[in-house]
Amino acid sequence: MSNDWWFRHGDERIVWEGQPQLSAAVPGVGVGVAVCTLAAVAAVLVDSRAAVGVAPGVGVMAWALLRARRTKYLLTTRALWLKRGVAGRSVRRVGLKKVQNTGYSRSVTGSAFSYGTVTVEVAGGDDLQFRRIDDPEAVQTAITNRTARDDEGIGDTVAVDAVHRP
């Protein structure tokens, strides 16, 4: 993967990188195939000019495939990164110190094909999701291991100095 979309800070290095499985494009491809099929049937049964409707169907399929391929996820030693966009580009960076909680989920098909979604709760911001990634449990563990380093030395209880009252 080309890494020209994120900036490295000091000795920061990549811990994990990935992107959605190509199956993320299936709904869009399905819609595109349906549009193409309807246009082809209409061209045969009604008017040959209806064949023009194939072009939007192909466009929908291409957009869905490009959207899946141009989405990138990155875990570095300092942050989580998400890049999306086909015609434009949207990049989001979340510092590991802002991570409050992580979790992962798998659908029935995700369990069968070993993919799922990792959700990261972010302090003061919207949750971050790495959707349809391979081995979400390992990715969630990698994120938790990186954020746990910031928590070392902080216990579950806090000692409070007694206040002396006259």
In a domain, residue 156? The reply is no
Local mean pLDDT, 10-residue blocks, the chain (166 residues): 75 93 91 95 93 94 94 95 92 93 92 92 93 94 83 40 41
In degrees and rounded to multiples of 5, residue 8 shows phi and psi of -90, 135
The two structure tokens encoding residue 149:
């380093």
In a domain, residue 70? The reply is yes
Domain enclosing residue 119, as ranges: 14-151
Beta carbons of 17 and 74 less than 8 angstroms apart: yes
Count CB-CB contacts under 10 A for residue 110: 18
Q: What pLDDT score was predicted for residue 147?
A: 87
Q: Look up tokens 């960076």; give the residue.
A: 93
Q: What pLDDT score was predicted for residue 110?
A: 87
CATH number of the domain at 122, please.
2.30.29.30
Tally of domains within the chain: 1
In a domain, residue 158? The reply is no
Q: What pLDDT score was predicted for residue 161?
A: 39
Q: What pLDDT score was predicted for residue 2?
A: 57
In a domain, residue 9? The reply is no
In a domain, residue 113? The reply is yes
Nearest 5°: CA angle at 24, between 59 and 76?
Answer: 115
Q: What pLDDT score was predicted for residue 109?
A: 87
Q: For residues 78 and 96, what is the distance between their CA atoms, to the nearest angstrom?
A: 6
The single-letter DSSP state of residue 12 is -
Q: For residues 66 and 87, what is the distance between their CA atoms, to the nearest angstrom?
A: 10
DSSP E strand stretches across the chain: 14-18, 72-76, 79-84, 90-95, 99-105, 115-122, 128-134
Beta carbons of 39 and 54 less than 8 angstroms apart: yes
DSSP E strand stretches across 14-160: 14-18, 72-76, 79-84, 90-95, 99-105, 115-122, 128-134
In a domain, residue 135? The reply is yes
In a domain, residue 136? The reply is yes
